A = this chain, B = another copy of it.
Amino acid sequence: MIKNIKINDDDDSVRDLQTLIRQPSISAKNQGLVECADLVAQIMLNAGIDTKLLYLTNNNNNNSTEVEEEDNNNNSNIPSPPATQPSPSSLLSSPPPPIVYGEVKSKSNPNGKTILFYNHYDVQPVEPIELWDKNPFSGNIEGNYIFGRGAADDKGELIARIKAVEYYIKKTSDVPCNVKFIVEGEEEIGSVHLKEYISLYKEKFKCDGVIWESGFVDTRGRPIISLGQKGILSVEIISKGPCRDVHSSLAALIENPAWSLVRLLNTLRDNNGKILIENWYNELRDFTDEEMSLMEKEPFDEDALKKEYGISCLVNNAKGIEVKKAFAGMPTCNISGLVSGYVGEGSKTVLPSIAIARLDFRLVPDMVPQIQFERLKKHIRKYQSSNSNNNNNYNAASSNNTTIEIRFLGAEPAARTSINHPFVNIIKEAAVEVYRDAIINVSSAGTGPMYYFNKLLGVPSVCIGGTDISNRSHSPNEYMRIDLLNKTIKCMIVILEKFAFSCY
């Protein structure tokens, strides 16, 4: 065991993080992914990690390409995207970006446990770009902060893990347990190929526990150890009216598809956040007594959240335990994008021919994305037919003049690791040692592909990381705190040690 772990400011973690931030890697735009994967691989190799780029097919003329042929076991429990809908990846002309895979075998403990770090090198788009104080890819340092898209989510977290392993190797020429890295390039677009990667490389990825790519530290400096993730269903709803944009004087005669879209959207969710789609909540289960008691103890600074975002109260006016229940376990329906007609400079009296909404639905354990998608489609069909058949307030005009189409954009099921798994306790003990205190959270409100690790690899996954709770991930001026970067490196070192000597 290493005594007196000391992360020095002259370590190159900050410099390496800047290098990664300065390489744009926006999966939504298929921008800079391979370049970023190469950079990550280089940093891992420099750290002493045996590193390879993995691909789904062997059509790539890349020396480090490696395809293992494995049994494709029966994964019929894993919901797939609907077959009739194109997946976003099928729209891309290039093959899926590689996974950067890393491995360090423990010399002293080769038959011991294996820990797997799951991270991603892709980032969210930077829009609205005008709200950034600096170039989103500057990696600019101001005091304790490194700014840039991906600074926290997830390049900062990734660097912390690599540097923890590097520190260990440099100090001891070994690692206390076997270590694996999976660094993917499509997390921000729903990890569209991760399930395939895990199926294909199942033997290679074998491990005893997964440290998740992200983890928050609260305003009082306590890491939030999160045991689950919500799922997601992302769709686009397209309302089509006249075959081209029309002079708005024709609004007296021609139905506007933006009105149809507004009316439909208004049937999806009430003012209190409740989703109004039939059977939407069928699979929603109550929290267990243990989860409830954990949530009761869990601190949640409502005032800090409100102050941070300039709001005066929360959805459904939730307070106390209701806030925590909603955050960890309430399905949501969010409008992530709306567009129709003209909102540029000046005004344009146009009746648009099309109106589009993007929605993301967060899901909770036991909700199957494909089933939820079918429920949504049924809702829309019902809405359209009620518009054409009901002679009271609705009539044929709306449904015949405008048609609603729905497009599947992506989905992931929710996942939760049991509070009672010994892996959870190891992480908690390490966190308390480094941060003095730690919070166990039943589930994050965010989404990731945890479900595939838990189900396909059959191991527990736990989120722990060093991302300031107000880090502005997915927003302008995203940052990583340097003090937390260093603390995370230290925490990962302690986890490696405690994990090596655990006996579950």
Contacts and interface: CB of A to CB of B under 8 A. Distances in A.
Interface in A282-326: 305, 309-318, 323, 326
Contact of A248 (B256, B259, B327, B360): B360
Contacts of A29: 344-346
Interface in A68-82: none
A263 B397 CA distance: 22
A396 B311 CA distance: 12
A401 B316 CA distance: 11
A398 B271 contact: yes
A342 to B, nearest CB: 5
A253 B316 CA distance: 8
A413 interface: no
Given A28-B348, A244-B309, A338 B340 contact: yes
A192 B189 CA distance: 46
Contact of A327 (B252, B313, B330): B252
Contact of A124 (B339, B348, B400): B348
A273 B256 CA distance: 10
A186 to B, nearest CB: 10
A345 B28 contact: yes
Contact of A335 (B249, B259, B336, B472): B259
Most buried by B among A30, A253, A272, A447: A253
Interface centre among A125, A243, A310, A358 (most CB of B within 10 A): A358
A63 interface: no
Contact of A395 (B125, B230, B261, B272): B272
Listed residue (A230, A326, A349) with the most chain B CB atoms within 10 angstroms of its CB: A349
Contacts of A315: 251-255, 397, 401
Given A247-B475, A254-B309, A340 B335 contact: yes
Nearest to A153: B247
Interface string A206-234: 00000000000000000000000010101
Contact of A250 (B262, B338, B396, B445): B445
Contacts of A176: none
Interface in A386-433: 387, 393-398, 400-401, 409-410
A244 B259 CA distance: 27
B317 A395 contact: yes
A125 B190 contact: no
A337 B342 contact: yes
Nearest to A350: B336
A336 B311 contact: no
A377 interface: no
A13 interface: no
A463 to B, nearest CB: 13
Given A349-B232, A397-B314, A358 B343 contact: yes
Nearest to A325: B252
Contacts of A24: none
Nearest to A446: B249
A413 to B, nearest CB: 15
Contacts of A143: none
Nearest to A390: B271
B248 A230 contact: no
Contacts of A190: 347
A347 B393 contact: no
A189 B248 CA distance: 13
A119 interface: no
Nearest to A240: B310
Contact of A351 (B242, B246, B334): B334
Contacts of A393: 270-272
A309 B243 contact: yes
B127 A344 contact: yes
A409 B248 CA distance: 15
Interface string A356-398: 1010101000000000000000000000000100000111111
B245 A476 contact: yes
Interface of A: 26-30, 88, 124-125, 127-128, 131, 189-190, 230, 232, 234, 236, 241-256, 258-259, 261-263, 265-266, 269-273, 305, 309-318, 323, 326-327, 330, 332-352, 355-356, 358, 360, 362, 387, 393-398, 400-401, 409-410, 444-447, 472-476
Nearest first, the 5 A-B pairs at minimum CB distance are A28-B346, A243-B310, A337-B343, A258-B335, A242-B309
9 contacts: A234-B347, A244-B472, A248-B362, A250-B309, A271-B397, A336-B350, A336-B351, A339-B340, A341-B358
